[in-house]
Amino acid sequence: MASFETYAVAGDVGAALRFSVLNGALWAIGSAWATATREVAMLLLPADDTATQAAWVEVVAACVVTGLGLAVALGVGYCTAPSRPA
């Protein structure tokens, strides 16, 4: 799999730019989902302003985002895997 560095060293400006834009977009999407999941977790868990509750909210949000990320990664890997002869 090619990387930004591979494209940059080869002098392929278009591919390097495309790689950068796509990576940035994926990071932005991931950050948005993480923030949204954190806010939902804060709404669902009982409201007492303690550090312990805040820590658990962060853990729950991180677990949910990790699970979603793994599901997407596995789905993309499954959809883009080369077909194997039967």
Tokens representing 24 are 């940035």
pLDDT value at position 46? Answer: 66
How far is Cα 6 from Cα 16, in angstroms, rounded to an integer?
8
pLDDT value at position 84? Answer: 58
18-69: pLDDT as tens digits: 888 888 888 888 888 778 877 777 777 766 667 677 777 777 777 887 888 7
Of the pLDDT bands very low, low, confident and very high (cuts 50, 70, 90), residue 1 is: low
pLDDT value at position 37? Answer: 77
CB 45 within 8 A of CB 53: yes
How far is Cα 86 from Cα 82, in angstroms, rounded to an integer?
12
pTM above 0.75, yes or no: no
CB 1 within 8 A of CB 19: no
**Which residue is listed with tokens 């495309």?**
18
* Average pLDDT estimate for 8-17: 86
pLDDT value at position 82? Answer: 66
